[in-house]
Amino acid sequence: MKKYKKILGIALVAFIMVAAYVWFFVYNKPHRNIEKAKADYELSAEVAYHTFHSGDPVQAKEYLGKVIQLTGQASHIESGDSLMVLVFVFEEGMFGDEGIRCSFLPKYNQQLASLDLSKEIMVKGYCAGYNETDVIMEQCSLARPQ
């Protein structure tokens, strides 16, 4: 009887440990930290845009959902309610300017406000894809201080 109790106790502890693991590391696993992640691809903003806009669709698919580091000269910054978007413009279309739109992590708002747009910028973020007008980057950070 004592032996059965011991086995039951071990099984219960094992079950709790597995359940806790699933709860914390599977069901509630944290989002990937894009700011700290190593970039999967490093390229110029212009090359990235043209790959999506008129380039190689196979290569464009490679960038989808990946961490990309872009270098180039940005055109302007748009400020929304809580969102700051750095824009690299390469074309003019029906939806106005077209290019790469990088929405930044809120902690960069102050740095963005004092950014010198005449200088080259290096941005790292999650490539969400191409919406037929712009390449969209999310959770962006400045990869190199100006």
Partner 1 sequence: MKKVIIIALGLGLALNLSAQRFLTKTGHIYFSSDAPLEKIEAHNRQVNAALDSRTGDFIFKVLMKSFAFEKALMQEHFNENYVESDLYPNAIFVGKIPNLDDVDFEKAGTYQVTVMGDMNLHGKSQKIEEDGVLVVSKDGIQATSTFNLEIADYDISIPGAVAGKIADEIQIHVDVNLKALNK
Residues that bind partner 1 (CB under 8 A): 26-32, 61, 64-65, 78, 80, 83, 85, 92, 94-96, 101, 103, 128-134, 136, 138
Question: Smallest gap, in angstroms, from Cβ of residue 121 to partner 1?
Answer: 19
Are 57 and 90 in contact by the 8 Å Cβ rule? The answer is: no
Question: Smallest gap, in angstroms, from Cβ of residue 61 to partner 1?
Answer: 7
C-alpha triplet 102, 108, 112: angle, nearest 5°: 70
Instruction: Report the residue number, 4 or 27, with the smaller CB distance to partner 1.
Output: 27
- Cα 36 to Cα 23, 33, 89, 106, 141: the distances in Å are 24, 6, 26, 15, 9
Pairing of strands 41-44, 67-72: parallel
Question: Smallest gap, in angstroms, from Cβ of residue 31 to partner 1?
Answer: 4
Instruction: Report the residue number, 48 or 134, with the smaller CB distance to partner 1.
Output: 134
